Amino acid sequence: MKPLVLILCTGNSCRSHLAEGILRTSAGDLIDVASAGSKPAGYVHPKSIEVLKEIGIDISSHTSKHMEEFLNRPVDTVITVCGNADQACPMFPGQLHRFHWGFDDPAHAAGTEEEILNEFRRVREQIKLVFEAYAAGLKRGKSL
- Confirm whether 89 is a catalytic residue: yes
Domain boundaries defined on the chain: 4-139
**Cα dihedral 4/71/67/91 (nearest 10):** -80
- Confirm whether 82 is a catalytic residue: yes
Residue 116 pLDDT grade (very low, low, confident, very high; cuts 50, 70, 90): very high
pLDDT tens figures, 50-103: 999 999 999 999 999 999 999 888 999 999 998 766 566 666 767 788 899 999
Which one of 89, 123, 127, 135 is the catalytic residue?
89
Are 134 and 3 within 8 A, CB to CB? no
Which one of 5, 6, 82, 85 is the catalytic residue?
82
CATH class of 4-139: alpha beta
Amino acid found at 79: I
Distance CA(93)–CA(77), nearest Å, equals 10
Amino acid found at 25: T
pLDDT of residue 72: 87
Which one of 5, 7, 9, 67 is the catalytic residue?
9
- Confirm whether 14 is a catalytic residue: no
Residue closest to 3 by CA, chosen among 37, 38, 34: 34
Angle between helices 15-27 and 113-139 (to 10 degrees): 40
